Structure 1
Amino acid sequence: MLNRANKLKLRDLRLIKAIAETGQLALAAERLAMTQPAASRMVSGIEQSIGAPVFERHPKGMTPTAVGKILARNAAGLLKGMDQTLADVQSAITGQSGAVRVGAVTGAAVGFVVPAIQKLKKTASGADIHVDVAPSDVLVEGLLGGEYDFVLSRIPAGTDPRQFQVRRGRVEVIRFLVRRDHPLAGPGPLKTADLAGWEWVAQGLRTPLRQAIEEAFVSRGIPLPDEIVNTSSLLVMFAYLGSTDAIAPTSREVAELVAPTSGASQLAALDLEDPIIINPYYHLISMKNQSLSPIAMQLHDLVYAALSGES
């Protein structure tokens, strides 16, 4: 019997389920867009394959036998699982579901990846999205190792850029975070010299942001701070700022998120009359010979649209 049952097809299971639910061959055939004679022949073929009656025929319709009840019950579960599988496959093909993993430096994650995910989720609620925030050298190493679909970072020195598909990023204007009641907090931009003598809490040495600030201070004849707390953690930075007079250089996107011009915040963002600019701070990078899944491509395009000012 088991060998014969292996001949059952999905359409057989759909018919068994429909007859069990309606109790009428004609109604089941209509539901499946079949003629009644064709449905009758299919039932006979099923019973021949099974080697046992599946339905009892009577003047008022058809009722499943003990075998038919087992088939109808399991057909419902199998068909539901198959329908969900097909829906998932279709969603993956159209980019409405699937997994995508992105890496980004802090400012890019806040300014571009998060808004892009919010847009994507409006049409692809089933997407499984992972976002890692890390320095550029870690992100590019992960991209090369297949950990990410794409990253928003710079290309570290010594890394061959020819293996990447690179969408050029935009320049980054550095802003300075302080606690809301800091002596420097107030209207109007500051002179770079106004930042001299204050403690810093900043990204570590050799990061593009740190290097740009140090070069700007040196070129303008302003002494670098004697006291610097080095951290890549925004949580550590914010906590330190809240209880000290330290200054934290950060990206424009991070400053706009935690210290908006309107709304209550424990932090304030300072601007300079002569801004310090990183040109450019990061790029949208993917592997040149690697195809992105539909969902990953959707997110990639949304990030790039924001990065290039198209959205």
Structure 2
Amino acid sequence: MPEVHFQRLQPKHFSLIRAVAELGQLSLAAQALSITQPAASRMLGDIERLVDAPIFVRTPKGMEATAVGLALARRARTLLEEMDEAIREVDAIKRGLTGTVRAGAVTGGAVGFIVPAIQALKVEAASADIHVDVASSDALIGDLLSGQLDFALGRIPAGIDARQFDILDARVEEVNLLVHESHPLADANDLSPADIVHFAWVMQAPGAPVRQAVEAVFIESGVQIPSNIVNTTSLLVMIAMLASSNAIAPMSREVSDLLCGGTGTGLCKLDIRVPIVVAPYHLITVKRKQMTPVAARLRDLVMQELHGGRPVPIGPVKA
């Protein structure tokens, strides 16, 4: 078989070979391919000239494949299926329905907005490979700049030039104080900072935004900052401490709603008089970074969650 001629076979030729082999009639194959029978007959002749061998022979029962025809029909099925799969894969990539995305977030942002966005994306793109890092804003910004994350929900740390980022929207982080339901203050109402200062605390290290917000409430109320503190960034350590002691732990509203929403953790929120609010976090991307379609799609879904489920146009926050 002259290779140069064989390489001139086109997808339409393989489609005809497969159709005739499966249907057994040239007229039926032509109909399936939406071409006329004379056109199908001419194409079959072209194929046989290219491969320099008969592909089908006519019998009383219809078109019967020769040994060469059987081999080509078998290859045609595989080739056309691979082509169809390639088309589907390219289309999925273009529409953001496959590929890898790496997102990062502070804890409240991850629970409140990244998780719902992932659930929505998985409905559209079950095969999308999604990675989520939950960390402090310092770590998130470092990973953004090194290219390890596509986007993040976090804050721009002091000393970092914000001009190198696109900052998309903002979300104020509200904080609740969690205790075990057996805590002496679990059923108390209208608690002041003075009522809670003497208990053990478990929270992030000094300088963390949630920690700063809690300390600000004590300072503004003229009450000494708690001294009995276990420092940790681990949510599991916080939960374990709450379950085994009378400690108090500050957590974002999204996380506290999850833990106190009938999940069997035995945790509840304290009724405090003074609200605790952390500085806003933002959806942050590195300027001019080219996102894959699936990463852009997840980012858009996160933005939609930030706006209460409403689709929103994407654009940087104006300074």
Who is 1:62 aligned against? 63
Who is 1:53 aligned against? 54
Instruction: Quote the Cα distance in structure 1 between the aligned partners of 2:81 and 2:308.
Output: 44
**Displacement of 1:187:** 5.5
Who is 1:234 aligned against? 235
* Contact 1:170–1:308, Cα closer than 8 Å, also in 2: no
Matches within 5 A, 1:121-200: 121-186=122-187, 188-200=189-201
Who is 2:98 aligned against? 97
Q: Deviations over 1:104-150 (max 9, x none)?
A: 11110001111112222233333322211111111111111222221
- The SS at the match of 1:168 is strand
Stretches of structure 1 lacking an aligned partner (at least 5 in a row): none
Instruction: Quote the Cα distance in structure 1 between the aligned partners of 2:195 and 2:83.
Output: 67
* Contact 1:201–1:228, Cα closer than 8 Å, also in 2: yes
**Displacement of 1:32:** 0.7
* Contact 1:99–1:128, Cα closer than 8 Å, also in 2: yes
**Displacement of 1:192:** 1.7
Who is 1:267 aligned against? 267
Amino acid at match of 1:65: T
**Displacement of 1:310:** 5.2
Mark the CA change 1:310 to 1:98 in structure 2 (over 3 Å): closer, same or farther. Answer: same
* Contact 2:217–2:274, Cα closer than 8 Å, also in 1: no
* Contact 1:180–1:265, Cα closer than 8 Å, also in 2: no
Stretches of structure 2 lacking an aligned partner (at least 5 in a row): 311-319
**Displacement of 1:264:** 4.7
Instruction: Quote the Cα distance in structure 2 between the aligned partners of 1:267 and 1:274.
Output: 20
Who is 1:297 aligned against? 296
* Contact 1:169–1:308, Cα closer than 8 Å, also in 2: no
Instruction: Quote the Cα distance in structure 2 between the aligned partners of 1:72 and 1:203.
Output: 66
Of 103-112 and 208-217, more deviation after overlay is shown by 208-217
Q: Deviations over 1:204-254 (max 9, x none)?
A: 221111122123223322223332221111112112211111111111110
Q: Percent identity?
A: 50
Instruction: Quote the Cα distance in structure 2 between the aligned partners of 1:73 and 1:188.
Output: 76
Who is 1:30 aligned against? 31
Mark the CA change 1:266 to 1:283 in structure 2 (over 3 Å): closer, same or farther. Answer: same
Who is 1:277 aligned against? 277
- TM-score, scaled to structure 1: 0.93
Mark the CA change 1:310 to 1:115 in structure 2 (over 3 Å): closer, same or farther. Answer: closer
**Displacement of 1:35:** 1.0
Who is 1:307 aligned against? 306
Mark the CA change 1:255 to 1:189 in structure 2 (over 3 Å): closer, same or farther. Answer: farther
- TM-score, scaled to structure 2: 0.91
| Count of residues in Structure 1 that have an aligned counterpart in Structure 2 | 309
Instruction: Quote the Cα distance in structure 1 between the aligned partners of 2:205 and 2:79.
Output: 56
Amino acid at match of 2:304: A
Who is 1:247 aligned against? 248
Of 133-142 and 165-174, more deviation after overlay is shown by 165-174
Amino acid at match of 1:115: P
Who is 1:112 aligned against? 113
Q: Deviations over 1:24-49 (max 9, x none)?
A: 11111111111111111111111111
Give RMSD over aligned pairs.
Answer: 1.8
Mark the CA change 1:293 to 1:52 in structure 2 (over 3 Å): closer, same or farther. Answer: same
Instruction: Quote the Cα distance in structure 2 between the aligned partners of 1:48 and 1:42.
Output: 10
Instruction: Quote the Cα distance in structure 1 between the aligned partners of 2:43 and 2:297.
Output: 44
- The SS at the match of 2:170 is coil
